[in-house]
C-alpha cells in the first residue's frame, strides 16, 4: 500500500490555546498498536484533558482517548492507556528542564497524519490566570470591532 504524502489534521486541542500560553512546540511520533492507528485514521481520538509526563527518561501521553476500533474485537486496547512518545533524548531532557519551572506543563496540541505516519504536536505551556483570559478576550473583541468599523467606512 503506497504512503499518502502530505499532512492531514485528525484532532486538535482548541482548549489548550485558551487555557495556556504556548512557549515551544515539538513534533513527535507515538507508539501505537494496529487497531489504534485504524481508529485514529477514522478520526476517533480526543485530546481533551490530556497531558505529557516524563518518567524514567521517557515521555508518555496520559489521558488521550482513542476509541476502540469496531472490527478490532480482541485486539483492542484500553482507550485511556498511557502511550509512549517517540522523541530524541536531548528533546526529552529539554522538556524535563522546562517543566521543572513553576507553572509549566507539556500538553498535546494536535494529532495528524504526516506522510502516512501518526504524529503529535506537543508544547511546553504556562497556565493562564483568569485575568489573562479576560484580557485576551477583550483584545480580540476590540480587534473585531475595529475591523467592523473599517468595513463600514469603505
Calculate the alpha carbon distances from 146 to 38, 52, 134, 154 in Å: 46, 39, 18, 13
- Domain CATH number, residue 29: 2.40.280.10
**Residue 147: inside a domain, yes or no?**
no
**DSSP category for residue 73:** G
Grouping H, G, I as helix, E, B as strand and the rest as coil, residue 153 is helix
**Residue 16: inside a domain, yes or no?**
yes
Q: What angle do CA 111, 32, 69 make, to 5 degrees?
A: 85
Range of the structural domain that residue 118 is part of:
7-127
- Nearest CA-CA partner of 107 in 46, 7, 25: 25
Give the count of domains, the chain: 1
* Residue labelled with grid coordinates 526529552: 92
CA distance 40 to 30: 12
- pTM given for the model: 0.81
**Residue 141: inside a domain, yes or no?**
no
CA distance 18 to 129: 10
pLDDT on residue 86: 95
- Nearest CA-CA partner of 109 in 2, 35, 17, 37: 17
**Residue 142: inside a domain, yes or no?**
no
Helices (H), the chain: 14-19, 34-41, 89-100, 130-153
Give pLDDT tens digits along the chain (154 positions): 556 778 899 999 988 988 899 999 999 999 998 888 889 999 999 998 899 999 999 999 999 999 888 776 776 777 788 999 999 999 999 999 998 888 899 999 999 999 889 999 999 999 888 888 898 889 999 999 999 988 887 7
**DSSP category for residue 42:** T
Q: What are phi and psi of 44, to 5 degrees?
A: -100, 65
Amino acid at each position: 500500500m503506497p504512503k499518502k504524502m502530505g499532512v492531514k489534521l485528525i484532532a486538535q486541542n482548541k482548549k489548550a490555546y485558551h487555557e495556556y500560553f504556548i512557549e515551544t512546540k515539538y513534533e513527535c511520533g507515538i507508539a501505537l498498536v494496529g487497531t489504534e492507528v485504524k481508529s485514529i485514521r477514522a478520526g476517533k481520538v480526543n485530546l481533551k484533558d490530556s497531558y505529557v509526563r516524563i518518567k524514567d527518561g521517557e515521555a508518555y501521553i496520559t489521558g488521550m482517548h482513542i476509541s476502540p476500533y469496531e472490527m478490532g474485537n480482541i485486539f483492542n486496547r484500553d482507550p485511556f492507556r498511557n502511550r509512549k512518545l517517540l522523541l530524541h533524548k536531548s528533546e526529552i531532557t529539554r522538556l524535563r528542564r522546562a517543566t521543572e519551572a513553576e507553572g509549566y506543563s507539556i500538553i498535546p496540541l494536535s494529532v495528524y497524519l504526516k506522510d502516512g505516519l501518526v504524529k503529535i504536536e506537543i508544547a511546553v505551556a504556562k497556565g493562564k490566570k483568569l485575568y489573562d483570559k479576560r484580557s485576551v478576550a477583550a483584545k480580540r473583541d476590540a480587534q473585531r470591532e475595529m475591523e467592523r468599523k473599517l468595513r463600514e467606512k469603505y
